[in-house]
């Protein structure tokens, strides 16, 4: 009996078809769970990167007002500070370099920053060839939230109370 068992055992090399199929099924289940999770992480990181770009534009606008307007936010209250272009823009004055929106990797073709009279950020708008997105002041200060797609001729309403206008750094 042991001789027969040894002879049968000696010819067993490799894996059976059932074992290989079981491994393939397990890998398929893992992939089905992991791929959507990874995609979700990528989408969230793109959105957060867009908010950080809006924050960078906000910081450049504050530097612009401090340097060019002697810190007088009242002079720019309710007025748009242009982001892109030559002349009296953040890019034209050297406060920003050419930028791409991280989520789409497309160049920013236009943009606007608007402050309230007390210096609180009202909103930042960023335009690419895909369209314009508005980022509200409190969301930019938090670095997260939901951007609002632009409606032609309509700008977002200012926040009801001044929140988050000052940087905590």
Q: pLDDT by residue (tens digit) across 80-105?
A: 888 887 788 888 888 998 888 888 88
Q: What is the pLDDT, as a whole number, of residue 152?
A: 53
Of 6-10, 68-72, 84-88, least confident by mean pLDDT is: 6-10
Query: Which 8-state DSSP code applies to residue 119?
Result: S
Is residue 7 in a domain?
Answer: no
Structure confidence at residue 166 as a pLDDT band (50, 70, 90): very low
Q: Which domain holds residue 139?
A: 15-149
Q: What is the pLDDT, as a whole number, of residue 143?
A: 76
Is residue 97 in a domain?
Answer: yes
Is residue 106 in a domain?
Answer: yes
What tokens were used for 54?
A: 């809006």
Residue entry with tokens 């969230």: 44
pLDDT at 148 over 80: no
Is residue 2 in a domain?
Answer: no
Q: What is the pLDDT, as a whole number, of residue 10?
A: 65
Is residue 166 in a domain?
Answer: no
Q: What is the pLDDT, as a whole number, of residue 115?
A: 86
Is residue 94 in a domain?
Answer: yes
Q: From the CB of residue 113, how many other CB atoms can be counted at a distance below 10 Å? A: 29
pLDDT at 6 over 60: yes
Structure confidence at residue 11 as a pLDDT band (50, 70, 90): low
Q: What is the pLDDT, as a whole number, of residue 86?
A: 76
Interval 2-15 mean pLDDT: 70
The bridge status of strand 100-101 relative to strand 121-128 is: unpaired
Q: What is the pLDDT, as a whole number, of residue 136?
A: 86
Mean pLDDT rounded to a whole number for the chain: 80
Residue 144 CA to residue 162 CA, distance in Å, equals 18
Number of domains forming the structure of the chain:
1
Is residue 162 in a domain?
Answer: no
What tokens were used for 93?
A: 């004055």
Q: Which of 3-12, 62-71, 160-169 has the highest mean pLDDT?
A: 62-71
pLDDT at 165 over 80: no
Is residue 70 in a domain?
Answer: yes
């Amino acid at each position: 009996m042991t001789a027969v068992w040894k002879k049968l055992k000696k010819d067993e090399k490799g894996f059976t078809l059932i074992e290989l199929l079981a491994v393939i099924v397990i890998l398929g289940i893992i992939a089905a769970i992991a791929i959507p999770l990874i995609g979700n992480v990528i989408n969230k990181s793109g959105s957060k990167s867009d908010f950080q770009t809006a924050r960078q534009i906000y910081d450049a606008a504050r530097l612009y007002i401090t340097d060019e307007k002697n810190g007088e936010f009242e002079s720019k209250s309710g007025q748009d500070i242009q982001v892109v272009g030559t002349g009296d823009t953040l890019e034209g004055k050297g406060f920003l370099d050419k930028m791409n929106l991280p989520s789409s990797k497309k160049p920013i073709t236009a943009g606007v920053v608007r402050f309230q009279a007390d210096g609180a950020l009202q909103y930042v708008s960023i335009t690419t060839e895909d369209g314009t997105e508005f980022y509200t002041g409190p969301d930019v200060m938090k670095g997260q939230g939901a951007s609002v797609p632009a409606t032609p001729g309509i700008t977002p309403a200012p926040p009801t109370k001044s929140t988050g206008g000052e940087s905590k750094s």
